[in-house]
Chains A and B, each alone.
Chain A
Amino acid sequence: MHQTEKETAELIKQISGSDVKKCMKCGKCSATCPAYGEMKFHPHQFVTMVAHGKVDELLRDETVTRCLSCFACVERCPRGVEPENVVAAIRVLAEREQGGSNFVPDEVPALIAADKEIPQQALVSAFRRYRK
């Protein structure tokens, strides 16, 4: 069954729990985002695109994985929109598709061989954030 772009946008709203219509486009979320320079789209754009049902491009955008999950945008949004929740929902939907993983267990041995100080927390986090 094929899901239309509009249906995907609805699903993103649902699983993010974010009320994207409340956004007043002040840009505060993007101004505070430490990954601003790394991401093709910025928090306020995610919010607006989801509100307009334009999400296919977001789901294909690999730079979304540069988001640090730092919650700065969530904390500082004056309207309680929680942009990071939208970003996280998009990541999770992309990862749930076949081939959507950005991190495979086979990468781990080389990583820890190269740097013995890598804490387990970093690896566990990567498994949570880059793959399903």
Chain B
Amino acid sequence: MTYTYYPGCTLKTKAQDLDYYGRESLKALGITLEEPDEWQCCGAVYPIARDEIATKLSAVRALAAARDNASPLITLCSACHHVLTRVNDDMRRDENVRTKANNYLKLDVPYEGETEVIHYLQLLRDKIGFENIAKAVKNPLKGRKIGAYYGCLLLRPSKVMRFDDPENPHIIEDFIKALGATPVIYGMRNECCGGYVTLKDEAQAAENTNRIIRNAASKGAEELITACPLCMYNLRKHSDGTIKISYITELLYDALGLREELGDAPEACETADGSAAGCACGRTEKAE
């Protein structure tokens, strides 16, 4: 089975491991992810003001490309998932945005929100099934006490995101269970780490992040997992190192026994010009 996949800019750069572990794990589960040609960065932040049109166009292009491939659009980065889902909702329900975006893009077939945006975790749960993932696990992560860190972008606003119960989510806990580990529930798993504020007001992000980590540790979590590169950055930067922080896909990769088979993710490449040896993202192949 092949799905259209939107990796986003960060999974091509700082978070190449999130992408690599995600793709390889799905491959082992019989699913191939295929990127649309020439996708563009979604902007990472959904433009809330209703008169913003141009800032939504890159998301619309990716959504239309998936429609043309007759595939749902798979996301992994929480921010991409948020932006694509909300722009898609605008294309369905906001006539002003839909008309202006289509007038500008002049696609062969106008885009009206036909695509279904599916997050990686939802793909695991709904298209593969956590029970089948549990069966494919070779290294059950027995004894590991793992807290799910949801953050904001996957869950809120739930009216549009429809990802999980916004105040008592359990999809990541179910995922952790499927891998044989023990999920640790803690109250602040859906509170904000501070996000981009870390660039301007680092202390504010540090305070938020610390509150979350302390809460998780007080409930017995020894590790945290996330799907978002910015959450990852904040959690790693502002923790004292006593709690391990990983991406959801790395956990899956380990449980499926792929580390023994394939090793660690290739070293992240900084050149981003398609010329480096051992290219992970596939752009080098295309250039050939």
Contacts and interface: CB of A to CB of B under 8 A. Distances in A.
Given A69-B45, A72-B191, A128-B44, A120 B196 contact: no
B197 A68 contact: yes
A100 interface: no
Given A35-B204, A84-B48, A129-B45, A119 B232 contact: yes
B199 interface: yes
- Tell me whether chain A's interface is mostly helix, strand or loop, or mixed: helix
A105 to B, nearest CB: 13
A88 to B, nearest CB: 4
Nearest to B158: A75
Nearest to B18: A119
A68 B105 CA distance: 31
Question: Interface size for chain B: under 10, 10 to 19, 20 to 34, or 35 or more residues?
Answer: 35 or more
A128 B15 contact: no
Mostly, the B contact residues are: loop
B208 A15 contact: no
Interface string B40-51: 010111011111
B113 interface: no
B204 A125 contact: no
Interface string A17-52: 100000000000000001100100000000000000
Contacts of B192: 34, 68, 70, 72
A119 B10 contact: yes
27 contacts: A15-B50, A38-B201, A65-B200, A66-B197, A66-B204, A69-B45, A69-B152, A69-B195, A70-B192, A70-B195, A72-B152, A74-B157, A89-B48, A92-B47, A111-B199, A117-B237, A118-B199, A119-B15, A119-B230, A120-B41, A121-B8, A121-B79, A121-B228, A124-B43, A126-B196, A126-B199, A128-B47
A59 interface: no
Given A88-B49, A111-B199, A125-B44, A120 B13 contact: yes
Interface string B214-252: 000000000000001110110011000000000000000
